[in-house]
Chains A and B, each alone.
Chain A
Amino acid sequence: MSSPSSSIVEARNLTVDFAAGRGSLRAVCGVDLSLKPGETVALLGESGSGKSVTLRALMRLHPNSAKIGGAITVDGQDVLALSPAQLRAYRGRIVSMIFQDPGLAFDPVYRIGDQIAETVMRHEGCSHAQARKRGLELFERVRIPSPERRLDNYPHEMSGGMRQRAMIALALACRPKVLLADEPTTALDATVQIQVLLLLRELQREFGLAIVFVTHDIGVAVEIADRIAVMYAGRIVESGSCASVIRNPSHPYTRGLLASRAHATLAKGERLYAIPGSPPDLAAPPPGCAFGPRCDRFIDGCAADVPENIAIEAGHEARCFRLSALEHGSNAA
């Protein structure tokens, strides 16, 4: 565990509640997250696990009706205390975000080059010519072919992979310190996905970016991340270095996810391991450990309380009551 002073992103006991019907719904229930400059953490989880909600909370993108609890410190600033004006300076300059669908992230009626220039001018107060020059540099950097011409494209004139590169260029236009990535490669073909992942890895090294990368694909997480945090029903249930989590998955949910992957060594016709049931309804979460009803190691005690983190190895921990009773590592799935 790093001390708060050395980390660029620090979230403590983060909670996010949304109004739902007459009551409210807790999408994130006590997430701790800490990133050093230049580090990549993958938030891995299924739909409804709270991974995107956590990410958006770091940039305060939720509507005002959403209640954010806990503490978020990014680059020394208390994010939850920022005024609207401070927030505008914070977004894009300190932290920026890339999304799954670049078609929605760009305004369809302005040229991409102008949208990048607008961002640079807004944050740095430079001239349009200087800002456009920055846009050109970035287009070259993200390896968009014939960048000069492409700056004058409208979003619909680019292919999916190129739009994703253009969005990365836009996100990096003001040299942010932290990049939040919300499934940026999910909609891409595998051949393009790997190109974008390699590009992000390269840019991270060059700019010293800290990246929080949300994904549902373990393979993608392994390619991009230094650390993996597995989320389930609004909590991080297991976190650790990429190698440690993959080789020694400890939470039953992580084990199940890894075991349920179709992979080359399976014999034809053999059945896949499948986690039974489906993710819980956040409006009525099960008591105690939220994974309990789907867990093959469930005991009565699991429904009594939410499990605390248990250390597996240095920097690798998981929330499961049964872990203390298991011999770690000897029965990897």
Chain B
Amino acid sequence: MSGTAAELDPRDRGGAGTPLLDVRGLVKHFGGKGGFLAKKTGVVRAVDGVDFSVAKGETLGIVGESGCGKSTTARLVMQIIAPDAGEILFDGEAVGSAALDLKAFRRQVQMVFQDSYASLNPRLTVEDTVAFGPRIHGASAASSIAKAHDLLHRVGLEPRRFAGRYPHEISGGQRQRVNIARALSLEPRLLILDEAVSALDKSVEAQVLNLLLDLKRDFGLTYMFITHDLNVVRFMSDRIMVMYLGKVAEVGPSDPIFERPGHPYTAALLSSMPSMDPDNLTLEAPLTGDPPNPIDPPSGCRFHPRCKMVSAICSHAEPPLSDVGAEHLAACHLANPNSGHPRLAAV
């Protein structure tokens, strides 16, 4: 799914076959030491051994309940927080190595956050906000401003009307467009969108999703698209990664995941979506209870206490990611014919 624009990119080092982003064994635990008034606190296993890759030109959607580690994963990739373990390769180069230092990496990877207001400096005008990045990275004042105007135009904010405004003077949808323009000002190759449309009104959300599709095509971008909205993730993504309690539960191309989910958790997540059919209302909740706490996650398969297909093996053996289709993997004993899960014999 690598777009032509990505192939022509002069910054391309590894070629079309090398994933733009390759993450191996990513781990991040929070807390565990001291705590408030020397009280013992548990370790939050926010991200606990996550592997994934994002091919050039594709959109990887990441979904999961709160606490599953999807935002932490994004922050780790972005190097906002340091991982405890794991390797992040960007176009074949290790991030932070001599070949790709942090400043060069950040020029190529940018992020858009959910809260459009909190992520803008209230004292900078829209124009200065977008021009800030290029200035820091050495562009002249005049060329930065020219670039900002061009980008504002591209995201649908006429510079003549909007360049001089402050964040509080524009609407939420417009602010998110400014954030997108700012993210694009350094001509990144990878854009991480962390719930970037979740706070927008539905009628505005559709506009911004369309804008993101256009920008991806025009700039040859690659997206990591994090959301809790399953309709949106299917619309936007080529591949989807489902996370549960800091682990990858399932990953694969988006249509197979929606049509034939390989993990019982994915199936439950999908059937939790409102039905949109007044004659066919949901009668039973697919899952009971809240997502468990990432402090002290369950043993074996982390989903087993909430799983309808649970058997004895699930509580002591952790299922590896197993093939359930073309490039479609699920971390479930039922996906592995040799796991010894009793339901496999029944099928």
Task: Give chain A's interface residues, CB within 8 Å of chain B.
Answer: 46-47, 145, 159-162, 189-195, 197-198, 216-220, 222-223, 241-243, 246, 256-257, 260-264, 266, 268-269, 271-276, 278-279, 294
Contact in complex: A190, B228 (CB < 8 Å): yes
Q: Report A111 CB to chain B, min CB distance, Å.
A: 20
A193-B209 in contact given A160-B290, A262-B234 (Cβ < 8 Å): no
Q: A260 to B206, alpha carbons, bound, how many Å?
A: 6
Interface-forming stretch among B89-97, B122-130, B133-141, B274-282? B274-282
Q: Which of A192, A246, A274 contacts B210 (CB 8 A)?
A: A274
Collect the chain A residues with CB atoms within 8 Å of residue B115's CB: none
Collect the chain B residues with CB atoms within 8 Å of residue A246's CB: 276, 278
Q: A165 to B281, alpha carbons, bound, how many Å?
A: 21
Q: Report B36 CB to chain A, min CB distance, Å.
A: 13
Q: Report A5 CB to chain B, min CB distance, Å.
A: 28
Contact in complex: B282, A194 (CB < 8 Å): yes
Q: Report B131 CB to chain A, min CB distance, Å.
A: 25
A192-B275 in contact given A198-B284, A260-B206 (Cβ < 8 Å): no
Collect the chain B residues with CB atoms within 8 Å of residue A268's CB: 238
Collect the chain A residues with CB atoms within 8 Å of residue B203's CB: 46, 256-257, 260, 274-275, 278-279, 294
Q: A217 to B201, alpha carbons, bound, how many Å?
A: 10
Q: Does B207 contact A (CB under 8 A)?
A: yes
Q: Does B35 contact A (CB under 8 A)?
A: no
Q: A241 to B190, alpha carbons, bound, how many Å?
A: 45
A-B complex: 5 closest residue pairs judged by Cβ atoms: A219-B274, A262-B235, A260-B206, A274-B206, A46-B201
Question: 25 A-B Cβ contacts within 8 A?
Answer: A159-B291, A161-B289, A161-B290, A162-B290, A189-B66, A190-B228, A191-B268, A191-B272, A194-B272, A194-B286, A195-B285, A217-B202, A222-B277, A223-B281, A257-B202, A261-B206, A262-B229, A262-B235, A262-B236, A268-B238, A274-B206, A274-B210, A275-B206, A275-B207, A278-B201
Q: A276 to B172, alpha carbons, bound, how many Å?
A: 15
Collect the chain A residues with CB atoms within 8 Å of residue B293's CB: 159
Q: A193 to B291, alpha carbons, bound, how many Å?
A: 12
Q: A264 to B259, alpha carbons, bound, how many Å?
A: 10
Q: Report A15 CB to chain B, min CB distance, Å.
A: 23
Q: Report B263 CB to chain A, min CB distance, Å.
A: 14
Q: Report A181 CB to chain B, min CB distance, Å.
A: 15
A223-B231 in contact given A191-B65, A271-B210, A272-B210 (Cβ < 8 Å): no
Contact in complex: A46, B202 (CB < 8 Å): yes
Q: A261 to B269, alpha carbons, bound, how many Å?
A: 19
Q: Does B307 contact A (CB under 8 A)?
A: no
Q: A242 to B274, alpha carbons, bound, how many Å?
A: 14
Contact in complex: B171, A278 (CB < 8 Å): yes
